[in-house]
Amino acid sequence: MEDVLRGIYNHFSRSSASRREFSKFQEFAHAAEHTILSPGQTNLLSEEACVNRILEQREALILYFQAESAEDPTAANTLIHTMLNNEMTVPFLEFTSYALNCFNEFNTLFQSASPKLHLLQERVSCLIKDFAQNFMNFKYVVDCCPAKIYPYLSTQYVPLQKVYLGMAATESIKKLSQDNQQFLVHPVNARKRNSDSSIALFKQYPNLENELNGSHADREWRSHSHLEPMLLNCKTEDEVRVLYAETYWNRVLSLTLSPPLNQAKIGGFGGLRFSEKGDEGIAASPRINHFVRNFAENTMFSGKPDL
């Protein structure tokens, strides 16, 4: 993302004609006619200002680089337009702005002209605890000495949907989770296979194409609805449909795949057979793992059934 921010600045800094052209898009998008700032190499203060300026000018920038990439489809123009147009860019930049602001407040104290050494330990402790409580259990953070807080202690992590990303980013993520196609998440809709295809998902998250084979993932999505209830630790289809979304997908992802030649094992789809735990099998396909986890995490398991 930093390379994209720097690329946007470089694009306009090298050409007065580009700046004049961009001002027309600013007027059309009703954006303030502010210049694009450069992300500093070492100065976090300038980094925060740059991020905030991109957020302020995002709509105008999308329109400008859409036209620019159509007329001059260079890799740089296409990358900038793709990143700006990605709906996850806004919460990412908002979180970056929030995090940089926290550090900048501390840096301002640290670089104060008057002696502030006696305040530094307290401020460092507050900074560590403020960030830790964003993704760790509050009681653990409060009871633990700041120097002994272990950020990789996963047993103290809060659920994904409770991670705090700053006020603006948290609201943006919440809105995205409400806008997402939640019928793909809830077991009722997954088993009924509402939406026959994952095409909309790949349009919404284009970066998935770089990580997995879209056609294979699509076949797995369509085929997984045929899994026998017993493979999901349920006796009947009705039991499957009342599972929480998070529980359902965790059980799907916990399955292991046996070689296709093992015809004796129960269940199976797409030419692959499922085996019970303990049997020889390969780990669940990276395609379906990545496919389901990406969507489930982005919707924060908030999908509701389409009854």
The percentage of residues in the chain with a pLDDT greater than 70, rounded to a whole number, is 71
Rounded to two decimals, what is the model's pTM?
Answer: 0.59
Q: Are 296 and 182 in contact (CB under 8 A)?
A: no
Residue 217: which of 117, 286, 121 has the closest Cα? 286
The CA–CA distances, whole Å, from 156 to 120, 138, 139, 182 equal 27, 9, 9, 28
What pLDDT is recorded for position 264? 32
pLDDT category at 22 given cuts 50, 70, 90 is very high
> Can you give the residue ranges of every domain in the chain?
2-86, 96-174, 180-299
pLDDT at 103 exceeding the cut of 60: yes
Which range (151-155, 214-218, 273-277) has the least confidence? 273-277
Are 39 and 96 in contact by the 8 Å Cβ rule? The answer is no
pLDDT digits (tens, 9 = 90+) for 252-269: 877 744 333 333 333 333
Average pLDDT of span 4-13: 91
Percent composition of the chain: helix, strand, coil (DSSP 3-state, to 5): 65, 5, 35
